[in-house]
Amino acid sequence: MIKKNILAILAIVFIIVVIIIGYSYYNDRYPDMGSNVLTELDNNVKLSFVKIEQGNNEVVYAYQITNNTPYLIKQNNVYLSFNIKEEDVIKQNNFKVEGRGNKLNITPKETINLTFSVPKKIFDTSKSMLSEKPTLEMKLYLNEVEQNKFFHITLLDKANQ
């Protein structure tokens, strides 16, 4: 009877030790970036409108994005879209244009220039598209390309809102 109790206690201690070792291995490998990372990204990844150029078949929107966070933006994609207004509801538009001029490894305090070429025919097909209020969304990895470092933020052009 005593042997069974000792074996049960040893088994429980072993399981607890394995859990602690596994947890500390996971924490060392995937450190928590803090619960305020999204707020920090929303507040410190700055979007600045540069200009709009009208071409024959396209409209080119130019923006600057500045990384004012303490993080390295390791990899990212930036998309421009225009919401659609239907009656009293504003809906997200599935049509998106990926920015040109993007780069890997955007360091803290670094600014990049992006352009978005939007075919003019898109504006003709939807009269309810809010073409004067573009929305940019950024899908990014911070510091390294790992699943727990992936974030998705929306950058609004506050100057044109």
Q: What's this model's pTM, rounded to 2 decimal places?
A: 0.69
- CATH number, residue 126: 2.60.40
What average pLDDT does the chain have?
79
Q: Name, in order, each residue with C-beta under 8 angstroms of 45's C-beta and a sequence gap of 6 or more.
A: 65, 66, 67, 68, 69, 73, 138, 153, 155
124 and 81 assigned to the same domain: yes
50 and 63 Cβ atoms separated by less than 8 Å? yes
Mean pLDDT of 6-33: 62
Tokens of 149: 């470092």
Q: Name, in order, each residue with C-beta under 8 angstroms of 23's C-beta and a sequence gap of 6 or more.
A: none
Mean pLDDT of 106-129: 85
10 and 86 assigned to the same domain: no
pLDDT tens for 138-152 read 888 888 888 888 888
Q: Measured between alpha carbons, how far apart are the two ends of the chain, in Å?
A: 76
56 and 133 assigned to the same domain: yes
145 and 75 Cβ atoms separated by less than 8 Å? yes
15 and 59 assigned to the same domain: no
The residue segments making up the domain with residue 15 are: 1-30
pLDDT tens for 49-61 read 899 898 889 989 9
Count of positions (residues) in the chain: 161
> Is 25 strand, coil or helix?
helix
150 and 78 assigned to the same domain: yes
60 and 113 assigned to the same domain: yes
26 and 43 assigned to the same domain: no
112 and 132 assigned to the same domain: yes
Rounded to 5 degrees, φ, ψ at 82 are -125, 125
Pairing between β-strand 73-86 and β-strand 129-142 as defined by DSSP bridges:
antiparallel
More confident residue, 154 or 27: 154
pLDDT of the residue at 24: 55
